[in-house]
Structures are given as C-alpha cells and as structure tokens.
Amino acid sequence: MAEVSAAAQAWVESNWGPDLTLREWWGRLAEAGWAFPAWPKGYGGQGLSPAEAREVGEVLSAAGAVAPPGGLGQMMGGPVIIEHGTDDQKDRWLLALAAGRESWCQLFSEPGAGSDLASLQTRAVRDGDVWIVNGQKVWTSGARTADRGMLVARTDPDSPKHKGVTYFIFDMDQPGVEVRPLKQMDGGATFNEVFFTDAVVPHDQVVGSVNNGWMVAVSTLAYERQGIGGGRGAGGVMAGGPGEKNGALDRKVGELIQDGQRTQGEQAAMMTAQSSGALADLARTFGRRDDPVIRQRLMRMRIQSETHRVNGARARAAAQAGRMPGPEVSTGKLISSSLGRQARDLSLEIEGPHGMLVGPDAPEGGRYQQMGLRVQSGSIAGGTDEIQRNIIGERVLGLPREPQVDRELPFRDLKVGTQKSTNQ
Ligand SMILES: Cc1cc2nc3c(=O)[nH]c(=O)nc-3n(C[C@H](O)[C@H](O)[C@H](O)COP(=O)(O)OP(=O)(O)OC[C@H]3O[C@@H](n4cnc5c(N)ncnc54)[C@H](O)[C@@H]3O)c2cc1C
C-alpha cells in the first residue's frame, strides 16, 4: 500500500501544476492510470484494489490537486462498461470518460416508471444495424450538457416487464432528441425531460445482450447507490465538469480551483445548515436555546447524526474491503433524508417569522430557506424512502417480498396508453 502512495506522490509532484488546462491535467491523470486507479490498465486505471485507489485519492487531496472527472458517466457508466461491455466498447469510451472528455446522463425514469423502473415504455425497434427509439424520459439530471446517455428501452413488449428491456449507450447530439429543462422550486433547473422521436442508436452500442438490459440497469443502480453512499470518493479538489459542453476543459485548473472554492463555500454553508451544531448556534442567536422543546429536538438530531456518521464509516469500510453495497447504504440514505427534513422544520421554527424571508434579507443569507427547498430531493433520488424501507424489510428483516402480480405477464398486456409531458 505504501508503495502505491509513494508512486502516486512522486507522479503528482512532477505532473500537477495550476497552469495546466483541465483537459491537460485530466488527460495526464488518465494516461498514467491515476484517474480511476481501480479501472483496468490502459483505460484510465491500474487495476488497483478499492483501498489502494482511496490512498491515491488521499495523495491528490493532500497535494491540493484537482480531482479526477466526476459525473454520472464516470460514477456509473465506466464501471458498467467494465463489467458488461465488449472490448470495442471499452476501447471507445473508457479512456474518454477517465480523461473527462465525455459527460453522460442517466436515461432511466419515465412519467410512468420511477420506483417501478421495469414499467418503462420508451421503445427501441431494430432496423438493420441500428435501433429506432421513440418515447420520453424525465428527471434526467444534466441532459443538456451530456454527450451520451445510459438508456434503458423496451425492445420486446411480448416478454414480461423485466425481460424485454435492452441497455444502450445513446448519442445525445442528434435530430431525434429534444431536451426540455424543468424548473425546480429552489430556482435551479438541473432536471430535464428528454423526448425521442425516431432517434437512432447503432446496434454496437447495446451493452450486454438484447432483451437482457435489466441486469445491466440493476448493476448501474448499485453503482449509483454506492456513489451516493460515498464509498467511491475520488479525492482531490472538485473543479469543473467533464465534457466539452460544460465549458471547463480549456480553462486553467488554478482558476477553476478558485471558482470552485467560492461555490463549494456556498454549498458547504448550505450543507452545514443541516447539522445539529449549526442549528444549536441558530437557537442561540434567536434566544431559543433554553426552550425545552427545541433542546429536545436538537438532541434527537444530534443522536441521529452520530448514528449516521458511524453507519457511513461502516459503508466505507465495506467498500474498502471490496464488498458491494449492503443494507447499510439503505439505512444511511434513510437517516440522511430524515435528518434533512428535521433540519428544515427545526431551523424555520427557530427563526420564527424570519423563516418566511428569502435571499439576502433572511438570516444568514437565507441558507436555511434554500436548504429547506432542496432537502426533499434526498428522500426521492436514488430510490425513495419507502423503497429503502422495502429493501431493509425484505433483505435484512426477512419479511415476505412484496406481491408482484404482473411479474410473469407479457408487458403488452400491462400497459396501454400515451406518454404525457410533466410540463403540462
Ligand atoms: C435529485 C434527483 C435526481 C434525479 N436524477 C435522475 C436521473 O438523472 N435520471 C433518471 O432516470 N432519474 C432521475 N431521478 C428520478 C428518480 O430516480 C425518481 O424520482 C425515483 O426513482 C422515484 O420515482 P418517481 O418520481 O416516479 O416516483 P414514484 O415511483 O411514482 O413514487 C411515488 C410515491 O410512491 C411510493 N412508492 C412507489 N412504489 C412503492 C412501493 N413499491 N412501496 C411503497 N411505496 C412506493 C414512493 O416512495 C413515492 O413516495 C432523479 C430524482 C431526483 C429527486
């Protein structure tokens, strides 16, 4: 292990510098195999263990260097191609992802298929060497800046819903694709609807085999949960998004770090707004710290935060030992969304009438209000709270599985109907 750290350290000393462009830095990291050290040699990695990869991340952090590219393609797409892709697909995409030249999005959810993803209705029909795609996806984060998407589409409606689905790597820049941003209640628009009208995907961009995409989708979701659970943190300073459309590749890494420090400062202020320590300070500022009900709720949050920290350490230890995510990821996700909701309710109650203000007029620049508008997403993204409870019930407590009366029926007999836009 010490050898890996020493080799990474020596490499960083002679390769990292603030005057490099992001493209140059990420290119060097990928070519040398330090971008994603657990990926195979020649594809941006060195085939190292997760524990060794973490050591490399610590070296990058200690040097204050920019982290390897982060995005859904890097978090889920790369590992999925390594696990299920052909050699040609590995050659085509892995190094491009590792070097941050590409940004990918996740084309899974649809208006009628979220928790029950296997009910998806976007169709792909084969026409010689290509597939023709029609339908709609929704809640697609980052679709406007994505070069490709991980697409699951129905290819055999006569099979049961989990069986007639195929997984594609889909090119976003083509005439049959329309991306419409969705405005969020916090003012941002990171989500999108994506409409496909006779869009085309070459047959050699099928991952796994035709009608066998469910297995590939499930492994994508496992990498997503692992990424959200923090088991794969790359290490280094987060700065700039991958892909040409994010506009950061030709900027100097030194400048990007400065920009990043400002936005990370704002994000950190919002994140700490969820902590029991920040809320105790807020109670002090508003003269509410002796209120017995507020004290009780603060202590409840404090205890849950501590449980969350220990649970997170357990998840990281499992990832370091090379184990796939287990139930600790579901319990961790549940505690974190519960803490978010408690922080929202308690902070706005402590602020009293000031809780109704927004922006700079509100206490502490409105960070509690902004946090309150965002926390709800934590209990939906990556599997809702109810779905996490189902997982815990079935896999940890050994309760009977939910009845699934439609599991063996042909999909054609289950779904009739049109797809509606959520904008309407
Ligand atoms: C921040 C964020 C980012 C996202 N990014 C993406 C993305 O990039 N790509 C993408 O494809 N999707 C994305 N999503 C969508 C996300 O995957 C879905 O919102 C999620 O899977 C839930 O699906 P749904 O919204 O259709 O709700 P539904 O599945 O319709 O659920 C509605 C309600 O019913 C409950 N429910 C459903 N089934 C059960 C059950 N079996 N038992 C008990 N209760 C149940 C749910 O818990 C929920 O309360 C994102 C969502 C968020 C919030």
Q: Which atom of ligand 1 is nearest to the CA of 402?
A: 41
Rounded Cα distance, 329 and 29, in Å: 30
* Both tokens assigned to 30: 């990928």
The reported pLDDT for the residue numbered 390 is 92
For the cut 50, the answer to whether the pLDDT of residue 238 exceeds it is yes
- Supply 93's token pair: 């995409």
Among 72-81, 235-244, 309-318, the range of highest mean pLDDT = 72-81
Q: Please give the average per-residue pLDDT across 170-195, as a whole number.
A: 94
* Domains along the chain with CATH numbers: 2-100 (1.10.540.10), 104-218 (2.40.110.10), 253-383 (1.20.140.10)
Element containing residue 200 per DSSP (H, E):
strand 191-202
Confidence check: pLDDT of 423 > 50: no
DSSP 181: E
User: How many whole angstroms separate alpha carbon 110 and alpha carbon 121?
Assistant: 8
Provide the pLDDT for residue 239: 84
What is the pTM (predicted TM-score) of this model? 0.90
pLDDT of residue 404: 84
pLDDT band at 1; cut points 50, 70, 90: low
As a whole number of angstroms, the distance between CA 152 and CA 165 comes to: 7
Pocket of ligand 1 (CB under 6 A): 105-106, 108-109, 114-115, 139-141, 377, 380-381, 384, 386-387, 390, 402
pLDDT for 325 equals 64
Beta carbons of 85 and 181 less than 8 angstroms apart: no
φ/ψ of residue 390, rounded to 5: -60, -45
- 394 DSSP assignment: I
Taking residues 269-282, what's their average pLDDT?
Answer: 85
Protein residue with its CA nearest to atom 52 in ligand 1: 381
Backbone angles phi, psi at 15, to 5 degrees: -120, -25
Concatenated DSSP letters of 107-120: E--BTTBSTTGGG-
Span 2-18, pLDDT tens digits: 899 999 999 999 999 99
**225 Cα: distance to centroid of ligand 1 (angstroms):** 14
Catalytic residues, which ones? Answer: 224
| Digit-coded pLDDT (tens) for 398-420 | 999 988 888 889 999 886 543 43
Nearest C-alpha neighbor of 192 from the set 133, 151, 135, 143: 143
Q: Decide if pLDDT at 310 tops 50.
A: yes
Mean pLDDT of 89-98: 98
Strands 165-171 and 191-202: unpaired
Backbone angles phi, psi at 160, to 5 degrees: -60, 160
Read off the pLDDT of residues 36-91 as tens digits, 9 standing for 90 and up: 999 999 999 999 988 888 899 999 999 999 999 999 999 999 999 999 999 999 99
Report the range of poorest mean pLDDT among 93-102, 140-149, 218-227.
218-227
Give 274's pLDDT tier (boundaries 50, 70, 90): confident
Contacts of 126 (CB under 8 A, 6+ apart): 132, 155, 203, 210
